[in-house]
């Protein structure tokens, strides 16, 4: 534990001097899990473990406490409370639907950061068959914040790359809380070129507060490593599917997010800067983070309306942390359906469509909002129909 605290101290010092965005974002969440690191484990049964309720879920917490008490009394005294339990269960589901149907942007950020939300390792263990990890960037080292390997999803043999936040304290420190170093991005692109050589599709799972802001990372060329990835991914001759499963922070997320399709889980977020970092820069006040979150338009629904995201993968009632298996199944279904669509294209068409997709980003967002229902504004100024696959994972 002392070693973990020393490493954490170095992380905070580096972050303070180099990157206010990631430092504020990460440090603001340390207190939540430091005293009890095991409470971050993903759970099942549509219910978080004790202490895993968010501020706006207190009514749900009260209902679940009543349900637990009735079940305990029923088991101890042999009294049948099944009718009351069913009524409370119905009320609980109704309340969860009400809350999660109208989350604010800041509440969405809180859900995306939930300590019990499924991480990359959960997806690898539940979704990928015969996973074989590939290590190192052949230059500096093996960054544990980025995991890459070959495996099989549905009937597709592919390369999967993702950002790993870690569960326990030591694991979090080892992978910099999911903030990749330059060697992580260099490892990712090296493995992508390996996949291109053997014709393997690529799937990336994005979940990071941002690229690691340490002094060493800057000295080793953090910005260049990300820039090289953007350029190289845009012309890889294999299908690339990118999915934001939690946090999509700044260039740290973009470094593995250039592909043919970009999807988001319903309560993930994707932003140029964290709300805390934005508030600290604009207002010099981190308490303005909720206002910053609204202004950044970082939720999946906002980004879909703006044409920046191709699909929204629905989460179970109450968020991914309440039903890990259903969430993983939805992601797996989206990957299988999307790859089947992309693999029908020739390499020339694949690259042309990928180029057109990213070249059109930001050309005229204001017009894109009004035209979203049936048209997309292209870089030439002419309108063209949106082409979408029949994904069951899109809402």
CATH number for the domain that contains residue 241: 3.90.226.10
Whether the pLDDT of residue 34 is over 80: the answer is no
Q: 289 near 268, Cβ under 8 Å?
A: no
Measured torsion, CA atoms of residues 19, 20, 21, 22, in degrees rounded to the nearest 10: 60
Q: 44 near 66, Cβ under 8 Å?
A: no
DSSP state of 49: P
Q: How many CB atoms lie within 10 A of CB 348?
A: 9
Provide the domain count of the chain. Answer: 1
Q: Which of 33-37, 50-54, 81-85 is predicted least confidently?
A: 33-37
Q: Which pLDDT score is estimated for 51?
A: 55
Q: 319 near 267, Cβ under 8 Å?
A: yes
Range of the domain at 351: 1-395
* pLDDT interval class at 202 (50, 70, 90): very high
Identify the burial level of 61 via C-beta atoms within 10 angstroms of its C-beta, where 0-12 means exposed, 13-18 middle and 19 or more buried: middle
Output the CA–CA distances (angstroms, integers) from residue 112 to 42, 98, 209, 268, in the order listed.
Answer: 13, 18, 11, 5
Q: Which pLDDT score is estimated for 166?
A: 87
Kind and range of the H or E element at 62? helix 58-77
Mean pLDDT within 351-358: 93
Whole-model pTM above 0.95? no
Q: Which residues pair with 375 in a beta bridge?
A: 385
* pLDDT interval class at 133 (50, 70, 90): very high
Whether the pLDDT of residue 234 is over 90: the answer is yes
* pLDDT interval class at 6 (50, 70, 90): low
Whether the pLDDT of residue 374 is over 90: the answer is no
**Phi, psi values for residue 256, rounded to 5°:** -130, 25
Residue 188, C-beta contacts closer than 8 angstroms, at least 6 positions apart? 146, 148, 161, 204, 229, 255, 256
């Amino acid at each position: 534990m002392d070693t973990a605290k020393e490493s954490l101290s170095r992380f905070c010092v580096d972050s303070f001097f180099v990157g206010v965005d990631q430092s504020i974002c990460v440090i603001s969440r340390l207190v939540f899990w430091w005293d009890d690191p095991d409470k971050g484990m993903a759970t099942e049964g549509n219910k978080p473990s004790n202490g895993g309720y968010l501020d706006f879920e207190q009514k749900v917490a009260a209902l679940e406490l009543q349900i637990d008490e009735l079940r305990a009394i029923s088991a101890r005294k042999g009294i049948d409370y099944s009718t009351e339990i069913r009524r409370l269960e119905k009320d609980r589901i109704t309340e969860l639907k009400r809350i999660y149907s109208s989350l604010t942007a800041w509440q969405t950020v809180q859900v995306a950061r939930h300590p019990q939300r499924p991480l990359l390792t959960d997806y690898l263990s539940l979704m990928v068959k015969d996973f074989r990890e590939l290590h190192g960037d052949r230059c500096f080292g093996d960054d544990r914040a980025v995991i890459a390997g070959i495996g099989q999803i549905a009937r597709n043999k592919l390369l999967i790359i993702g950002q790993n936040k870690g569960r326990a304290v030591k694991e979090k420190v080892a992978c910099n809380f999911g903030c990749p170093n330059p060697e992580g991005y260099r490892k990712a692109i090296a493995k992508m070129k390996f996949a291109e050589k053997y014709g393997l599709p690529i799937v990336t799972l994005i979940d990071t507060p941002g690229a690691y802001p340490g002094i060493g990372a800057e000295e080793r060329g953090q910005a260049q490593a990300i820039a090289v990835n953007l350029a190289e991914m845009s012309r890889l001759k294999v299908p690339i599917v990118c999915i934001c499963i939690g946090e999509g922070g700044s260039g740290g997320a973009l470094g593995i997010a250039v592909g043919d399709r970009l999807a988001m889980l319903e309560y993930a977020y994707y932003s140029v800067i964290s709300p805390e970092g934005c508030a600290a820069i604009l207002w010099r006040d981190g308490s303005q983070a909720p206002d910053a979150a609204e202004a950044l338009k970082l939720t999946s629904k906002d980004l879909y309306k703006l044409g920046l995201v191709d699909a929204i993968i629905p989460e179970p009632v109450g968020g991914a942390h309440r039903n890990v298996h259903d969430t993983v199944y939805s992601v797996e279904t989206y990957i299988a359906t999307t790859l089947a669509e992309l693999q029908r294209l020739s390499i020339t068409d694949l690259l042309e469509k990928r180029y057109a997709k990213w070249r059109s980003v930001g050309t005229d967002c204001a017009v894109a909002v009004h035209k979203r229902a049936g048209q997309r504004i292209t870089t030439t100024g002419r309108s063209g129909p949106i082409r979408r696959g029949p994904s069951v994972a899109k809402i």
